[in-house]
A and B are shown apart, each in its own frame.
Chain A
């Protein structure tokens, strides 16, 4: 396993990039710690797959440097980097048995057959496919095939990192839960360095210790799931994480008070907001619906089973609130903002709350 340093890496698919817009990946400078579980999260075209392919060596960056445990691997091929990767669509060797699929990477490297057998059997146990060893791989279900793809990485004791490129896309919802928790257990037990690319916030947040949120070729925020949820650095993070995303509304700030239309909202502190467009962000989970506070008109209540999403208008703006499964909307609904969930943004970037 390895620590991975991404040093000022930029990449363009064009031969002579000039402006920032020519870069699929603008400056990325980050260290993936040894044994960490990371997710690269963002919409399509944000550069997350480009970054993953640069780490795996399928792509060589136009600028910058990549270090594995301090060793420069920028110029090395995928084979020489010793990484494992699981792709969106399961890649298996159709004509081989499950056993031979797992043995393949070892045999390619000339490992003695006795060691191959031992490692393959261990790995089959790890991915729960021991009873399938003799079966032809093409007859398996999508989730089993995806486990084989993963197994071909796990079987090598010397892998530096395991990379995942939207590995659960073709998996049914129920199996996603099973696979995800198995992945997490493998990570805990064996301490692999794992990097997981996805556009699905639930997958990213549940899998990773650190989530790297990417947008338009750059990193917007790196943090734990809790940090991304409670303190989004940028309104994009607020929007992209959470379902529904954060409510963002333009306000005027005066000391510890924000003014939204005719409403005054008490803030937990005085934000150090300079100039620029000032906005208040609050997640639907922190909007309290009740009999006191600011008057709203309800447009719709969505019952999604474990909770309800209330869509309402506050001062003419759309706002969402989440209420419990058994809660109901009062006759003259009003909302309050829980101060713990309030963030202030200047030109879309979060500003610190002063005393």
Chain B
């Protein structure tokens, strides 16, 4: 179990990590999700012992390891860049951590071949990394991390430099590889989509703080605050500030959006309403849905889906619909907001409720 207790890291005047407390269990896959410079890499460096926190402590299996350097801990790291020994064969690359540990030859051979089989590298064992494709180079780096039998494996955007389709393949394999290992995996990414595909737990980061930590799908469905909801939305979250009066939120043009039943008790005030792009629809999804009129700015079509960018009052929304829908710019369309799927945030950005999960 890896524990960060009130960890802070400042470099000069800049606060890279602000009061982070986090507990990661053995055999778990943990995603750090946040935009560039949100502190993902800083946090990983603290976990690894490459950096020492300015305040707070790092614990591993009940032992305080704050300040214990990385060489003394069983840690493996995989980076965005494909880092291998260019002069060694793939076999020797994978074997290198075992050689350093002084493992006997027969065991090395077995472990290397196992890892190579797991990562589909068996045909390339005698080649050097630079003669391989990017995907194979990164597989080599991953295999090396796996044979090391580390207690903590840190992956810093490992798929960012790969092609879209290669990313998809490797991403599908990673959870299977990790599940067998029983170690703590930490995976940093900027892409919400990637976090959802990996599953496990997700910690959302913003400006050096962890805004929420929990099972990935739960963080996605029930964000604790507006910052988390925004971080964990791709396409971007649709939001609008509305005044609540009685049982309704008041929209422009006299349209009323009913306040969800379980929130009927909240005080009359201004709230930020948030909902995912696929919860905005062209057809009425149910009797409760509220129609609003919005102006199309641009339509993007992916073949199976259409992203329709809309201007509503002074905000920009994106609607995600199935199928191909063409609209001319400046066309006014009627779209439906489903009140069952809205998230309500108070003036401080804290969630007042999360949308009801449909079974």
Q: Do chains A and B touch in the complex (CB under 8 A)?
A: yes
Q: Which residue of A lies closest to B194 (CB)?
A: A173
Does B199 make an interface contact (CB < 8 A)?
A: yes
Does A36 make an interface contact (CB < 8 A)?
A: no
Q: Which residue of A lies closest to B230 (CB)?
A: A174
CB within 8 Å for A173 and B303 given contacts A226-B324, A326-B359 = no
A172 touches B35 (CB 8 A): yes
B329 touches A306 (CB 8 A): no
A181 touches B300 (CB 8 A): yes
Chain B residues near A (Cβ < 8 Å): 35-36, 133-134, 163-166, 168, 190-193, 196-197, 199, 217, 220-221, 230, 234-236, 276-278, 297-298, 300-304, 307, 309, 318, 320, 324, 329, 358-359
User: Which among A13-21, A58-66, A241-249 touches the partner chain?
Assistant: A241-249
Point out the residues of chain A lying under 8 angstroms from B192, CB to CB: 173, 305
A225 touches B190 (CB 8 A): no
CB distance from A191 to the nearest CB of B (A): 13
Q: Which residue of A lies closest to B233 (CB)?
A: A174
A306 touches B302 (CB 8 A): no
Point out the residues of chain B lying under 8 angstroms from A85, CB to CB: none
Residues A192-236 near B (CB distance < 8 A):
199-202, 205-207, 224-226, 228-230
CB within 8 Å for A206 and B302 given contacts A173-B234, A177-B235 = yes
CB within 8 Å for A226 and B165 given contacts A177-B318, A304-B197, A305-B220 = no
CB within 8 Å for A184 and B298 given contacts A228-B303, A325-B278 = yes
Docked complex Cα distance between A174 and B134 (Å): 26
A174 touches B234 (CB 8 A): yes
A304 touches B196 (CB 8 A): yes
A244 touches B168 (CB 8 A): yes
B303 touches A306 (CB 8 A): no
CB distance from A291 to the nearest CB of B (A): 17
Point out the residues of chain A lying under 8 angstroms from B298, CB to CB: 181, 184-185, 188
CB distance from B251 to the nearest CB of A (A): 24
Known: A180-B300, A226-B303. 14 other contacts (CB 8 A): A45-B133, A177-B236, A205-B300, A205-B302, A205-B303, A206-B307, A228-B303, A229-B303, A229-B304, A239-B165, A242-B304, A302-B199, A305-B196, A328-B359
Does A263 make an interface contact (CB < 8 A)?
A: no
- Contact residue among B190, B191, B221, B301 (Cβ-Cβ distance under 8 Å from A205): B301
Point out the residues of chain A lying under 8 angstroms from B217, CB to CB: 303, 305
B165 touches A240 (CB 8 A): yes
Does A285 make an interface contact (CB < 8 A)?
A: yes
Docked complex Cα distance between A225 and B299 (Å): 13
CB distance from A303 to the nearest CB of B (A): 5
Point out the residues of chain B lying under 8 angstroms from A199, CB to CB: 163-165
CB distance from B234 to the nearest CB of A (A): 5
Point out the residues of chain B lying under 8 angstroms from A285, CB to CB: 304
B318 touches A306 (CB 8 A): no
In the assembled complex, 5 residue pairs joining A and B whose CB atoms fall closer than 8 Å, in A order, are A44-B134, A181-B297, A225-B303, A226-B303, A306-B276
Q: Which residue of B lies closest to A202 (CB)?
A: B302
B164 touches A200 (CB 8 A): yes
Docked complex Cα distance between A181 and B277 (Å): 15
Does A283 make an interface contact (CB < 8 A)?
A: yes
Residues A285-342 near B (CB distance < 8 A):
285, 302-306, 325-326, 328
CB distance from A97 to the nearest CB of B (A): 24
A225 touches B329 (CB 8 A): no
Docked complex Cα distance between A284 and B298 (Å): 27
- 7 closest A-B pairs by beta carbon, nearest first, are A229-B303, A206-B300, A225-B303, A326-B358, A306-B278, A205-B302, A199-B163
Docked complex Cα distance between A200 and B320 (Å): 19
B301 touches A225 (CB 8 A): yes
CB within 8 Å for A230 and B303 given contacts A174-B234, A177-B236, A181-B309 = yes
Point out the residues of chain A lying under 8 angstroms from B301, CB to CB: 205-206, 224-226
Point out the residues of chain B lying under 8 angstroms from A207, CB to CB: 300
CB distance from B18 to the nearest CB of A (A): 20
CB distance from B80 to the nearest CB of A (A): 11
Does A354 make an interface contact (CB < 8 A)?
A: no
CB distance from A225 to the nearest CB of B (A): 4
B329 touches A188 (CB 8 A): yes
Point out the residues of chain A lying under 8 angstroms from B329, CB to CB: 185, 188
Does A269 make an interface contact (CB < 8 A)?
A: no
Q: Which residue of A lies closest to B237 (CB)?
A: A174
B358 touches A172 (CB 8 A): no
Q: Which residue of B lies closest to A322 (CB)?
A: B304
CB distance from B159 to the nearest CB of A (A): 12
Docked complex Cα distance between A93 and B196 (Å): 39
Docked complex Cα distance between A142 and B133 (Å): 27
- When each residue 165-197 of chain A gets 1 if its CB lies under 8 Å from chain B and 0 otherwise, what string results? 000000011100100110011001000000000
CB distance from A164 to the nearest CB of B (A): 16
Point out the residues of chain B lying under 8 angstroms from A241, CB to CB: 303
Does A43 make an interface contact (CB < 8 A)?
A: yes
Docked complex Cα distance between A306 and B196 (Å): 10
- Contact residue among A43, A177, A205, A304 (Cβ-Cβ distance under 8 Å from B165): A43
CB distance from A159 to the nearest CB of B (A): 22
Point out the residues of chain A lying under 8 angstroms from B230, CB to CB: 174
- Among B134, B163, B217, the most chain A Cβ lie within 10 Å of the Cβ of B163
Point out the residues of chain B lying under 8 angstroms from A243, CB to CB: 168
Docked complex Cα distance between A313 and B235 (Å): 31
Point out the residues of chain A lying under 8 angstroms from B276, CB to CB: 305-306
CB distance from B25 to the nearest CB of A (A): 21
B358 touches A325 (CB 8 A): yes
A172 touches B134 (CB 8 A): no
Point out the residues of chain A lying under 8 angstroms from B191, CB to CB: 173
Point out the residues of chain B lying under 8 angstroms from A302, CB to CB: 196-197, 199
Q: Which residue of A lies closest to B38 (CB)?
A: A172
Point out the residues of chain A lying under 8 angstroms from B197, CB to CB: 302, 304
Docked complex Cα distance between A180 and B301 (Å): 12
- Contact residue among A43, A174, A184, A226 (Cβ-Cβ distance under 8 Å from B166): A43
Point out the residues of chain B lying under 8 angstroms from A185, CB to CB: 297-298, 329
A201 touches B302 (CB 8 A): yes
Point out the residues of chain B lying under 8 angstroms from A242, CB to CB: 303-304
CB distance from B110 to the nearest CB of A (A): 28
Point out the residues of chain B lying under 8 angstroms from A44, CB to CB: 133-134, 163
Point out the residues of chain B lying under 8 angstroms from A173, CB to CB: 35, 190-193, 234
Point out the residues of chain A lying under 8 angstroms from B221, CB to CB: 305
Q: Which residue of B lies closest to A206 (CB)?
A: B300
